[in-house]
């Protein structure tokens, strides 16, 4: 297989390029006070970060929280419903907001995410020119 842009034969599946550019590690240490600590992490190359599949969940969770907090204060002030006093009410409103934001986000960016994930699962990457494509 060769790159359609530069003709180079140094190509690799995108999944393999991401895996080879990702290093996972675990560390164990002792603090000055004698406590034992364990840490897990991962380090990725710039190529691996740019090729990995998009995961909008963190963004959606943060955006939902930003939208939900003012709504909660409006509801508390307007209707006298004390959602902030009820953990269940707060979590229920957050879940509804998260689902609504997720549906809107999927309607707007869903096709783009599908294309990117399809490229990740079936695509190839050229190490010389950086082109990625579907065979």
- Where along the chain do its domains lie? 11-133
- Burial track 19-49 (b if 16+ CB lie within 10 A, e otherwise): eebeeeeeeeeeeeeeeeeeeeeeeeeebbe
Is it the case that residue 54 has pLDDT exceeding 80? no
pLDDT in tens, 60-117: 778 888 887 777 777 666 655 565 566 677 777 778 888 888 888 878 877 887 888 8
pLDDT in tens, 7-28: 999 999 999 999 999 988 888 8
Give the CB-side neighbour count of residue 71, counting CA atoms within 13 A. 15
What average pLDDT does the segment 23-48 reach?
A: 86
3-state secondary structure of 43: strand
Tell me what pLDDT residue 8 has. 93
């Amino acid at each position: 297989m060769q790159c359609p842009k530069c003709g180079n034969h140094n190509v690799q599946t995108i999944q393999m390029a991401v895996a080879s550019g990702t290093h996972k590690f675990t560390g164990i240490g002792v603090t000055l006070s004698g406590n034992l600590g364990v840490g897990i992490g991962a380090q990725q190359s710039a190529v691996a970060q740019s090729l990995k599949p998009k995961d909008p969940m963190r963004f959606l969770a943060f955006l939902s929280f930003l939208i939900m907090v003012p709504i909660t204060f409006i509801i508390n002030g307007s209707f006298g419903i004390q959602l902030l006093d009820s953990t269940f009410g707060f979590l229920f409103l957050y879940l509804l907001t998260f689902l609504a934001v997720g549906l809107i986000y999927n309607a707007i960016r869903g096709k783009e995410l599908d294309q990117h994930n399809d490229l990740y699962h079936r695509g190839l990457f050229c190490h010389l020119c950086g082109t990625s494509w579907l065979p």
